[in-house]
Amino acid sequence: MLAREYNRLIEIWNKTHVPDDFGGNLPSDVFVEKVWAKITTNAGSRFVNYGIQDFKNPVIFSVRDKKNEIIYSENHFVKYQGKEYFIKGTEHRRLEQMELNLFCDES
């Protein structure tokens, strides 16, 4: 794992519900953090190997797991170059779990 591999700055967002002033909730996007990542495109075969069958534009964002201290869930999504990529699954890489693959699909 080289530091130069993580050369793209992506934004991590979270879809949550915030209360409105009338007793209900509104869906809202909350900014979490900017993270350096390595991007892998044309990764459809890795999605199938992972068990994800329904995808349109598969992209894998590899981020540093222990350094960022973000607990990723399917409510999180990635914004990169004006597009939103929703997280379909995660996979730890290497023995020390230093790297985390985010299997994302463009909506």
- Cα separation, 75 vs 14, whole angstroms: 6
**What pTM, to 2 d.p., does this model score?**
0.79
- Residue 106: closest CA among 50, 48, 69, 60: 60
Question: Domain total for the chain?
Answer: 1
Question: Which tens digits make up the pLDDT trace of 17-67?
Answer: 888 889 899 989 999 999 999 988 876 666 666 666 666 778 889 888 777
Segments forming the whole domain that contains residue 15: 3-106
Q: What is the CATH number of the domain that holds 28?
A: 2.40.10.270
- pLDDT tens string 62-101: 888 777 778 888 889 999 999 999 888 888 877 676 888 8
* CB-based contacts of 85, cutoff 8 Å, min separation 6: 59, 61, 77, 78, 79, 104, 105, 106, 107
* Tally of CA atoms within 13 A in the half-sphere of 1 that contains its CB: 15
Query: Greater confidence, 13 or 97?
Result: 13
Residue type, 55: F
- For residue 85, give the H/E element and its range: strand 83-93
